Structures are given as C-alpha cells and as structure tokens.
Amino acid sequence: MPLKAPFDALKAWLVDMDGVLYHGKRPLPAAAEFIQALQESRTPFLFLTNNATRTPAEYVQRLGEMGIRVDEDAIFTSALATARYVREHYPPPRRILVIGGNGIRAALQDEGYALVDRADDAELVVSAMDIEANYARCAEATLAIRGGAPWVQTNPDRTFPSEQGIVPGAGAIQAFLEAATDQTPVVIGKPQPGIFRQALAILGAQPEETVMLGDRLETDILGAHRAGLKTICVLTGIANRAQTEAYNPRPDWIIEDLRALLAKPKPFPD
C-alpha cells in the first residue's frame, strides 16, 4: 500500500518510535504497512528516537517481532548521539557513572569508556531513562555532580507512552538530579539541533526535503521545526489534538494514526 499525496512527495523521513510505531510491545495501527511503503518506494528513512534504553540490535529485534524488518543502521538513538558527544568533548579513557539502560551503557562502552558505580570513581556523569534506577544510584550521581563531575543527559523527555499509559521518562530523572544538585546538564537528544544534524548527515538529506514524524510537540516537532524540517504530529502518543492545534510552531500535518499516510487500495474494475 503506497503513501498517499502529499506525503509521497517527501524525499526523506525521520521517524520517532515510542508512541508512533508502538506502545511498549503493542504495535500501533498501520506501523508495519507504513514502513513497508517507505521501503517499497525506496524513500530514505531513519528511526530517530530519544529512547536510550536499548541498542540498535535490540530495536531491530523488537521491530521484527512487530513485522517491521530493518537493519541496525536504520536506527539512531539519543544514546548513540550522546556517546558521540562524550567522545568529542571528553575523550576516553575516562570513568563514567551512568544512570541508564543497556542502550547508553553499550554505546559508551563501545567508545572505550569504563563504567563505574561510585561517585568517588566518576570523572563524568551520564543520565538517561532507567527503569531500574534507585535512590542509591541517584545519590551517587548527585555526589559526583556536586563534586565537580560534568553531567550529560541523553534526552529531556519527561514521560513516554507505555501499554499501561503515560509513565516517567528520562526527563523525570533529570529533574530529580537538577533538584538535588542545583546544576543543569548538557542535553543531547531532540529537540537539540545536533541530533538532527547527525541524522540528516546519516541520510544524506537536506532539511527542506525531509519530514519528522513524531508524537511529542516539545521534542519531535519543535526540534524539527528549528532544524528546518517539515513536521507531522501523530496523535497516538503523547500529544492530543487540542494541544497540537494550539502549539507554536504548529506541525505541518496532524494525523490521527499512521493509516492517514497510506493510500487506499484502488477498487477492482467491474
């Protein structure tokens, strides 16, 4: 099933994942069909997610279970963008205290960093979404930051959509540490311009010919608008219609779900 006009004229796509393609392990309507339409039309696309909890390999497996077949190089996360930033500004070898899941941990280890658990051993703090974060780890991160360790945050998303509903995200951990340290981190993910520049470079696309498809206004839509991209907000995730229509900048398109992007099959002739 092909994309319908005017979406079929867009030359490159950045696609968010949580709230756009799925909630937790549950795929959203037409997710697989939409990606298949991009693949069949040979339209360049990149999954651009602020979720730093998984590695690209883990995302490939999750998407495959939903009928979406892609390679690891089709996925770019805030974890990968953060690891690139840390490598550029704090070259290894260094010891990093991490609050975060496997995605950010693997990205930093792949760059040659040692991960530590105690504030006394930390030369840098990196924080992200962590479903196993506890008070003790947050306290160690607080002590490290108060002791002078630089602090980098993967992304600012305060919440994210799950199968059960809206739950705390990486930004909630950021808020905890800001309250405890009186410090503000360097934030890497959407809506920061750097992650969009990296994504466009991977695609080999220009901003004016690229669209960002997302569900969160203050990251996907705001960041893409600032970067010069067109924007589509899908209402299957965080933002509702009233919020989206009132938001400035307003998305170029607002859709109920991904079925709105697909052309209806032509009826057989009588």
pLDDT, tens only, 82-103: 999 999 999 999 999 999 999 9
Structure tokens at 115: 């991960």
Domain count, the chain: 2
Whether 18 sits among the annotated catalytic residues: the reply is yes
* 141, 158, 187 - which closes a domain: 187
Instruction: Show contacts of 3-6: CB within 8 Å, 24+ apart.
Output: 3/34, 3/37, 3/38, 3/41, 3/43, 3/261, 3/262, 3/263, 4/261, 4/262, 4/263, 4/264
Is residue 249 situated within a structural domain? yes
pLDDT at res. 270: 47
CA end-to-end distance (rounded Å), the chain: 21
Whether 130 sits among the annotated catalytic residues: the reply is no
Q: What is the pLDDT of residues 128-181, one digit of tens each?
A: 999 999 999 999 999 999 999 999 999 999 998 888 999 999 999 999 999 999
DSSP secondary structure letter of residue 241: H
Q: Are residues 233 and 159 in the same domain?
A: no
Can you give the CATH number for the domain in which 148 is found?
A: 3.40.50.1000
Q: Are residues 131 and 183 in the same domain?
A: yes
Q: What is the pLDDT of residues 38-57, one digit of tens each?
A: 999 999 999 999 999 999 99
Catalytic residue from among 18, 157, 215, 220: 18
Asked whether residue 267 carries a pLDDT value surpassing 80, the answer given is no
Is residue 205 situated within a structural domain? yes
Q: Are residues 102 and 178 in the same domain?
A: yes
3-state secondary structure of 52: coil
Is residue 59 situated within a structural domain? no
Catalytic residue from among 16, 130, 215, 220: 16
CA angle, 262 then 263 then 264, to 5°: 115
Is residue 72 situated within a structural domain? no
Mean confidence (pLDDT) of the chain: 96
How many angstroms separate the CA atoms of 194 and 186, rounded?
12
pLDDT at res. 58: 98
pLDDT at res. 265: 67
Asked whether residue 112 carries a pLDDT value surpassing 50, the answer given is yes
Average pLDDT over residues 108-133: 98
Is residue 61 situated within a structural domain? no
Residue 14: give the domain boundaries: 7-50+190-261
Is residue 91 situated within a structural domain? yes
Structure tokens at 260: 């709105």
| Identity at 3, one-letter amino acid code | L
Q: Are residues 107 and 144 in the same domain?
A: yes
How many angstroms separate the CA atoms of 38 and 81, rounded?
24
- Backbone phi, psi, residue 95, to 5°: -105, 130
3-state secondary structure of 132: coil
